[in-house]
Structure 1
Amino acid sequence: MPLMRTLTAAAVATALLGGCQATTPASTTTSAAQNLPEVKIPYQVFTLDNGLTLVVHEDHKAPIVAVNVWYGVGSKDEKPGKTGFAHLFEHLMFNGSENFNDEYFGPFEKAGATDMNGTTNNDRTNYFENVPTPALDMALWMESDRMGHLVGAIDQAKLDEQRGVVQNEKRQGESQPYGRVFGYLAEQTFPKGHPYSWSVIGSMDDLNAASLDDVKDWFKSYYGAANAVVVLAGDITPDQAKAKVEKYFGDIPAGQPLKKMQSWVAKSQGTKRATMQDQVPNARLYKVWNVAETGTADSDYMDLLSDLLTGGKSSRLYQRLVEQEQLATNVYSFNYARLLAGQMIILADAKPGVSLERIEKVIDEELAKLASQGPSQQDLDRVKFSQVANLVRGAERIGGFGGKSDILASGMVYHGDPGYYQKQLGHLEQATPADIQAAINTWLNDGAFVLNVVPQPDYKTAAAGADRSKLPAVGKLPTLSLPSLHSFTLSNGLEVALAERHDTPTVELQFSFDGGYAADYGHKAGAASFTMAMLAEGTQSLSAAQLSDAMQELGSNWSSQASLDSANISLDALTVNLDPSLALLSDLIQHPAFSQDSIDKQRSRWLENLNQEKAQPMAMALRVLPSLLYGKDHAYSAPLTGSGTKDSISALKREDLVSFHDTWLRPDNGRLVVVGDTTEAQLKPLLEKHFANWQAPAQAKPQKQLDQVAQQGESRVFLIDQPGSPQATIIAGQLAPSERSDQATAIDVMNAIFGGTFTSRLNMNLREDKHWSYGARSIWLKAEGQGMYFAYAPVQVDKTKESIQEMVKELKAYTGKAPATQAELDKIKANKTAKLPGAYETKGALLGAIGDTLAQGKDMTWLEGYGNRVNTLTLDQVQATAKGVLHPDALTWVVVGDLSQIEDKVRSLKLGKVVKLDSDGNPI
């Protein structure tokens, strides 16, 4: 698997990062000047008598433990006609076991678990959560109970329920633009019968045909202890971990002997072409080659090649297609590395009027150059350093995707070695331009199929195991302890807040300026976001490509964006390179180029992205909802995506960007929050060195105009047509209090009970009980002024009316005859307080929390007091908050779907006046 990132089909949605175009012949040696950071994740491995593998990593920086359970089974282990079983079973694993036949998330939410989920891919299924240390026994009991004691709890009702949930997930994915592509690619790029020739989620027919016996047989075949790896990382010793895992897992049978294919690359010859028609905003080219499987040096070389091709503004394909010839609005590539085969995939979005053949020709030309010349040593060193820097950042976390437990588990399951990442680092460090060149030339021809059969060891099952009659109690939970905050002011008036965190040699910081989308009021919608995006397009002394290269060579990541109330610039730097990274950041803040040529290019891409936004149901609804709630004459009325409108972006001029920058991005209108491996004595001189000349202008600071808006008196319904969509997206919104409200904690808890968690009322109804939706939620969108509150649910189109009825029923019950209960309140209190000690494990999480706290005029005492504020809430307060804040008879409903199927049914509900809108929110 790729070293620095989890590469799945979803990876194509990620934004572009830095890269460079090669201009020199290939070298056969690595650069002597390059000094890659060292990465070490100490671990111990134990094998139980029943074959289960335990990997332990000890890290006591926070009182939490990451539990990561991986099974060596994925969609590749299915057979034609019975696809989708691995993913379906992942869902069933959350629906109760023989000794805890209830919603799996319940005890974990109460204990404060975080990063909790399960995922399935072609090669494996995993389940993971971070829990406070005192909750570890509970977590291991739960994980082992569903590993060893699940079959008896699976009945027809559960199978039907989760089958419906999975089918809604499939519909939801396929209803998105390009949502059918990867299933089709799997069919077309691998031969019939190949384990990668069907999608992970499977076919509708196969899911419908799945019987109770089928899924029970699947469990018996693949969920034995010998096919599982348990990784415990965090606040635990190896001896403690071994004792606990033997207690809870030692009596679970090994499972059946398995046949496991090791490689089937299935390289093809010749060029195969197809055309697909779909509801998409622009033409897109996908180009795919079957390449070496993960575990090979060539697979890791393909990762490097991907970054060389599309890893940023100076990468080869970005420069040719987007910048120089302006044929495409975006170009991506990735090495989809898997156990049996990898795939190099390149995607490009064509600009209007540009043929995909022209784009393909450029791709072929650049690949031919690399095949004949190789990349330059400088380019290769840069992408190497960037990838290792990303691994360093991932290793800050014990759990979650890319965290230490994830790295160790993937190495063990895929390669039989938790420390396999070191071998990948070796491939990366030793890679030469000639290696990249050879890999390109090698993977144009044949593939191979190899099968090794070995006898299963003589496994033994322990005579006795854990007490299964009751769930272990969660011990006393630790209290939240945050680092102290050092505050100081620079000579130019900029306020600085520093929290020291020395666990990894990185520093993260964020400049936050009062402004954001709300600052566009009275000007051109989208100006704030466009201006912040343009910071990436270069400074007065550095081009966009040079800026990207410089940051990448330092191993630094930076970003700039606007939100509703603020404009933010963030930097994540290695401590050793903080000084030069700050120099670059200072240049881009103080001296953005805003060149007309770059503005025109960005505008073209921006308008195409607007088209894509308006093709996505949820984004479409969020574009129109603000103006419906606040009215058009309000600072919060612009599209909630911040991207503006076609007219406003088309009318933007350079002086608009300069004006926003000079008006709002000034030291007396901002704050700098820093978290990381530095001290005030080290940091302050660096900041003075790079920002002392940055002075506030003479004119007074600007102020946002946040007028108060009255709540509407009755419900209204707005319909947006999306012909042919198999799903409808439903939003019910209203105005809500500001984030600065004294009721903030009560609103937060009130929302969690109703729709803010997996086990909330709304999701349990529409997903778990009715299985009409893959997920339904409610959100309190906090803001400096009046906020928004909305419930949303993507549902199967034939259940649109019924889903709206259920949402109305739930809202009215919650504010009327069935208010929040003490049990619901206790569960949320436990969840919100128990997870606090691990909530700020990463510097980024702590940085965001400190920034939000200071923006509200609060201090660290207030942040640390959140748990106490939650615990002191009474049931009467939560019930009164629901009745005072929620207005189920005065909602603004936005429904996006195929109106030929849903319009009459929605009108029959008689919720209120019905108005049809176009995708821009204009009445039809």
Structure 2
Amino acid sequence: MKTSFALRSLTSFAAAIALAACSTTPTAPVETAAAPTVVEEPVAQAASLDELIAAVDIPYETFTLDNGLTTIVHTDRKSPLVGVTVYYRVGSVSEPRGRTGFAHLFEHIMFTGSENVENFDIPLEAAGSTSTNGSTSYDRTNYVETVPTGALDLALMMEADRMGYLLGSLSQERLDNQRGVVQNEKRQGDNQPYGLLEYRINEGLLPVGHPYRHSVIGSMADLSAASLEDVRSWFTDNYGPNNVVLALTGDIDAATARPMVERWFGAIPRGPEVQQFEAGPVTLAEPVFDEMTDQVPLELIVRAWTGPDMEHPDAVPLQVGMYILGGLNSSRLDNSMVRGAEVAVSVSGYYQAYEQLGFAQAYVQVRPDATREEALALLDAEFERMLTEGPTQDELDRATTQIASSQIGSLERVGGFGGKGMILAEGLLYTGDADFYRTELEAMAALTPEMVRDAMQRWLSRPSYTLAVVPGERTLDGATMGGWGDEHLYPAPEPDTGSDIEVTRTGPAIELPTPAPVGELTFPEVERAELSNGIPVVLARRTSVPKVSLAMTFDAGSVVDGVGRYGVHETIIDMLTEGTTSRSAEELAVAQETLGASISISAGAENSTASMSALTPNLRPSLDLMADMVRNPAFADDAMERVRSRRLAAVAEELSTPSSMASRAFAQLVYGEDHPYAHASSAGDPAVIEGLTTADLAADHATWIRPETASITVVGDVEMDELLAALEASFGDWQGPATPVPAKAVDQASPAPMPRVVVIDRPNSPSSYLIVGRLTQLTGYQPGMEPLNLANEVLGSGFLSRLMQDLRETRGWTYGISSSLPFAEGQRVMSVQTQVQADRTADSIQVILDQMRAFPATQGVDEVEFQRVTDGNVRNLPNRFETNGQVLGALLGNQTLGRDIRYQVQLPDIYRAITPEDIDAAAATYLQPEDLTIVVVGDRSLVEPQLEEAGMEAEYISADTL
């Protein structure tokens, strides 16, 4: 993946769960000072599974060219967008010994340009596409972009060019650059807590040579050995049109699409059929228990099996059974091990079905005050109970309702990861049936508890592989893992030293099509109202799917904790889902699952938000449930101990994760130890969390979570009258305490910015995590800062930014880098964050400083950059607001920043009025490398000599001081 390599999701029919929307139904704004009279209505009943499945429908047509390219077309006219999704039947299962990681490496190479397209991203983003992306799995490689309808011809031409005419642009330099990027992607993954887990599980489950055994990202040795001859042959052998499914979904029809597809793809010759390997499930001879030590916060136990492929009759029962066991919020493992005996901080379980096999896995993160033996005994007992008794009908109903509800959410997005294009393409590629998602849903609807039990018995009574990852020194080297596993029998492949192959054009010269103009942005009209107790309500009505997304925001976040109370507010928020005065935590979870709703409550630095996604027919009871959680927390002692344990685990994980370690240190350094922002984004202070009582939490809840601090924003398929009636019934009688709301104080003085380098020693780190930044003179929201936002895009925000192109695409020292100036009510920070290969730590810092210094002193915004961040951003506005969630995020941002509620419709005129000089001036004022604080999390033994050689004086601290 351009952003990471990907595996299939929990259920095979949901490529990913996306909450999105395709169109708007505008209504006139309504301004009211008080709520209308509420008419009592009967409480809605939960929608049946059959009703939910009936709502999941993606009609399509297909056609196949003479060269074997198969195209799926789904028409959805709700928005002027087309999702372009390309699936190649080549993944890591196709890789022989010595060639692991080739499919994923080539996914990266496919973005470097083709014979007629110098850079794959620049023309599409200039035309208004969402960021192009791709991913690699065991069975396939895919590429996605969503473009304005008028840019479809351009997108098809570019996809065809890299399918048919890539070799004439594939140079040694491009191979070397992308090899470096992929190797840094591997280092970045390996550098995380539990980062070596996947390697070890696959090694334990599958024998050497099994196609699903080696990792998708491959081994360092194989990646280093990949020669230009190797990758050219890999392309020729696997990327012919006969091995491809193309999905076009959205504002397009088959009659229009066919001549476009024939024009661009028809002349590409067939290639060889991708070689297929037998790769079925494997039964271990006996149970295996394994152990590894790693730099992890808590012991993790994994229980795993291989199982049947996605078309096997047992695949759906296993997916649902494992979801009941460890996927539901009310799962059996949760009830037994987290809420019951309280031996675990977290648990999960799932079945991932692939083309030729599947993986059943359960995870248990053991509490520090519990033992492995206690956890294993309960884990064994729950598996035995499931295999012997099976699920109840109620568990089965709740699991299938949740899964179907999530699938409805995926219908909102025409393209991209998890959208309708992926769902159709995966079904056709893997099974020959684009409607396979319906086959799975219908199989799920027909399940009985006995069918689930019997499938679990058939597959999970076989010998299992159990792995315990325990805290300690990392003894394994991720660089040597991920390959076939028989390297001790064969000499390591020789690293590639370059090639003298002459790169010559293989196809015709083709001019890029000119995208058609885009129309005016369609952003939903907004209605306003107010509940009888004064809570403001904002609604944007959209009817593309029968769902509602709602956010109840409270003007209180972690900044209200105050000195010496870090972590209190987040603990309060955690408690809101752990039981009310009338429902236990389990009952809350069961109620959500029954309704097909999803309710979460989280604390940010300055605000806290209760978020809900609900099926429209079930809106009233879903709101009642959320209101109970927000208004009536029980603050029970047993729930307090569970939350305390999880919160302490979160702190421990934060102190073992490079990015979080860097963020904790950076905030304290730039804001000062006692500033509210110094700790607002951390998991808190362990000593404070240890000492909290339920009385403390109840008092703070009454102070901050109250109607006076609340506002409600809603997007989805509901009319204002219906919404207000439901909200009045749930929240209208809520009254706050007599005491006034305290003021949030975020304007304390901070230390003057000063240059410094601080290194946090983390031994055995293959990468170094960097944060480079400082406080700015910006405070809160200031109108007219759009030129700064665009300057930041040029410097470091997005794939085409200067920092990304330099450090990743040119030098290959990082997998990703970004710059930001996030909003804050108080003083705002400018920062650059990245993870780089350890031996390039000092060099990477210097590149960042050089790029900042050059903009605009020696390199002002150029013509291509200017077009991309102004006209390109205007053209991609429809893509930004395709989904309910995207619209909800925009409305919440507008309210937080005090902007016009429909600010987005002003953006075209704002962007068109910005000049290159405006962008350069913003960069000169806010993005210069002056008085920067630089935090490095890495192996001191590797980092210190580099910094000394570069003349960078550094302070060295331990993670224990954070």
TM-score normalised over the length of structure 1: 0.92
Deviation at 1:398, TM superposition (A): 0.9
Give me the whole-angstrom Cα distance separating, in 2, the residues matched to 1:89 and 1:472: 26
- Structure 2 residue aligned with 1:242: 258
Checking the alignment, whether the CA contact within 8 Å between 1:36 and 1:388 is kept in structure 2 is no
State which drifts further: 830-839 or 119-128.
Answer: 830-839
1:118 to 2:134 alignment: yes
State which drifts further: 316-325 or 405-414.
Answer: 316-325
SS at match of 2:370: coil
Aligned mate of 1:99, from 113, 116, 132: 116
- Structure 2 residue aligned with 1:811: 852
SS at match of 2:551: strand
SS at match of 1:443: helix
Aligned CA-pair RMSD: 2.2
Checking the alignment, whether the CA contact within 8 Å between 1:722 and 1:898 is kept in structure 2 is yes
- Structure 2 residue aligned with 1:373: 389
Aligned mate of 1:679, from 699, 705, 719: 719
1:695 to 2:696 alignment: no
1:233 to 2:249 alignment: yes
- Structure 2 residue aligned with 1:55: 72
* 1:149-176 Cα shifts (integer Å, max 9, x gaps): 0011111111111111111111111111
- Structure 2 residue aligned with 1:617: 658
- Structure 2 residue aligned with 1:630: 671
Aligned mate of 2:60, from 35, 40, 43: 43
- Structure 2 residue aligned with 1:71: 88
State which drifts further: 348-357 or 864-873.
Answer: 348-357
Change (3 A) 1:115 1:383: farther
* 1:592-620 Cα shifts (integer Å, max 9, x gaps): 11112111111012112211111110011
Give me the whole-angstrom Cα distance separating, in 2, the residues matched to 1:2 and 1:128: 16
Give me the whole-angstrom Cα distance separating, in 1, the residues matched to 2:668 and 2:842: 25
Checking the alignment, whether the CA contact within 8 Å between 2:60 and 2:73 is kept in structure 1 is yes
Deviation at 1:137, TM superposition (A): 0.8
Checking the alignment, whether the CA contact within 8 Å between 2:546 and 2:616 is kept in structure 1 is yes
1:442 to 2:482 alignment: no
Deviation at 1:291, TM superposition (A): 0.8
State which drifts further: 549-558 or 186-195.
Answer: 186-195
Change (3 A) 1:835 1:733: same
Give me the whole-angstrom Cα distance separating, in 2, the residues matched to 1:780 and 1:587: 37
Checking the alignment, whether the CA contact within 8 Å between 1:303 and 1:334 is kept in structure 2 is yes
Give me the whole-angstrom Cα distance separating, in 1, the residues matched to 2:243 and 2:379: 42
* 1:685-730 Cα shifts (integer Å, max 9, x gaps): 1111221210133232322112164673531111101001111111
Aligned mate of 2:632, from 591, 601, 611: 591
Give me the whole-angstrom Cα distance separating, in 2, the residues matched to 1:442 and 1:707: 63
* 1:405-453 Cα shifts (integer Å, max 9, x gaps): 1110110111111110111011100111001111111115789xxxxxx
Residues 328-367 of structure 1: pairs in structure 2 closer than 5 A? 328-367=344-383
Aligned mate of 2:330, from 299, 310, 314: 314
Give me the whole-angstrom Cα distance separating, in 1, the residues matched to 2:851 and 2:914: 23
Give me the whole-angstrom Cα distance separating, in 1, the residues matched to 2:440 and 2:105: 32
- Structure 2 residue aligned with 1:300: 316
Change (3 A) 1:136 1:738: farther
SS at match of 2:959: coil
- Structure 1 residue aligned with 2:594: 553
* 1:819-866 Cα shifts (integer Å, max 9, x gaps): 333432222113321110121111111011011102222223423112
Residues 766-785 of structure 1: pairs in structure 2 closer than 5 A? 766-785=807-826
Give me the whole-angstrom Cα distance separating, in 2, the residues matched to 1:837 and 1:711: 42
Give me the whole-angstrom Cα distance separating, in 2, the residues matched to 1:395 and 1:134: 23
* 1:766-821 Cα shifts (integer Å, max 9, x gaps): 11111111111111221122221111121111111111111111111115332333
* 1:351-373 Cα shifts (integer Å, max 9, x gaps): 22533333222222111111111
Aligned mate of 2:754, from 714, 722, 726: 714
1:208 to 2:249 alignment: no
> Aligned partner of 2:767: which letter?
Q
Change (3 A) 1:10 1:165: farther
Checking the alignment, whether the CA contact within 8 Å between 2:95 and 2:102 is kept in structure 1 is yes
> Aligned partner of 1:884: which letter?
T
Deviation at 1:467, TM superposition (A): 7.8
* 1:220-271 Cα shifts (integer Å, max 9, x gaps): 1110001000000011112111121111111111211344246511222311
Deviation at 1:904, TM superposition (A): 3.5
Checking the alignment, whether the CA contact within 8 Å between 1:762 and 1:807 is kept in structure 2 is yes
> Aligned partner of 2:106: which letter?
F
Residues 519-538 of structure 1: pairs in structure 2 closer than 5 A? 519-522=560-563, 524-538=565-579
Change (3 A) 1:9 1:484: closer
> Aligned partner of 1:716: which letter?
R
Checking the alignment, whether the CA contact within 8 Å between 2:14 and 2:407 is kept in structure 1 is no
Change (3 A) 1:871 1:900: same
State which drifts further: 328-337 or 632-641.
Answer: 632-641
Give me the whole-angstrom Cα distance separating, in 1, the residues matched to 2:453 and 2:272: 44
Give me the whole-angstrom Cα distance separating, in 2, the residues matched to 1:49 and 1:403: 28
Flag as ranges the 4+ runs of structure 1 deviating above 6 A.
1-4, 6-11
Aligned mate of 2:698, from 644, 658, 662: 658
State which drifts further: 898-907 or 131-140.
Answer: 898-907
* 1:436-480 Cα shifts (integer Å, max 9, x gaps): 111111115789xxxxxxxxxxxxxxxxx9984210011101221
Deviation at 1:6, TM superposition (A): 6.8
Give me the whole-angstrom Cα distance separating, in 2, the residues matched to 1:426 and 1:118: 30
Which structure 1 segments of 5+ residues have no match?
A: 12-30, 448-464
Identity %: 38
> Aligned partner of 2:732: which letter?
A
Aligned mate of 1:257, from 258, 267, 273: 273
Aligned mate of 1:762, from 787, 803, 811: 803
- Structure 1 residue aligned with 2:24: none
> Aligned partner of 2:171: which letter?
D
> Aligned partner of 2:310: which letter?
T
1:129 to 2:145 alignment: yes
Residues 884-899 of structure 1: pairs in structure 2 closer than 5 A? 884-899=925-940
Checking the alignment, whether the CA contact within 8 Å between 1:5 and 1:402 is kept in structure 2 is no
Aligned mate of 2:843, from 802, 805, 812: 802
Checking the alignment, whether the CA contact within 8 Å between 1:532 and 1:562 is kept in structure 2 is yes
Aligned mate of 1:846, from 887, 893, 897: 887
SS at match of 2:399: helix
Checking the alignment, whether the CA contact within 8 Å between 1:281 and 1:615 is kept in structure 2 is yes
> Aligned partner of 1:647: which letter?
A
Checking the alignment, whether the CA contact within 8 Å between 1:96 and 1:103 is kept in structure 2 is yes
Change (3 A) 1:335 1:493: same
Change (3 A) 1:397 1:553: same
Aligned mate of 1:858, from 890, 894, 899: 899
- Structure 2 residue aligned with 1:199: 215
Residues 378-397 of structure 1: pairs in structure 2 closer than 5 A? 378-397=394-413
Give me the whole-angstrom Cα distance separating, in 1, the residues matched to 2:795 and 2:455: 54
* 1:305-338 Cα shifts (integer Å, max 9, x gaps): 1211112443111111112212111111121211
State which drifts further: 359-368 or 538-547.
Answer: 359-368
Checking the alignment, whether the CA contact within 8 Å between 2:298 and 2:366 is kept in structure 1 is yes
Which structure 2 segments of 5+ residues have no match?
A: 1-6, 18-45, 464-505
> Aligned partner of 2:101: which letter?
G
> Aligned partner of 2:760: which letter?
I
> Aligned partner of 1:531: which letter?
I
Name the count of aligned residue pairs. Answer: 883
SS at match of 1:585: helix
> Aligned partner of 1:501: which letter?
R
- Structure 2 residue aligned with 1:462: none
Change (3 A) 1:721 1:804: same
Give me the whole-angstrom Cα distance separating, in 2, the residues matched to 1:870 and 1:739: 21
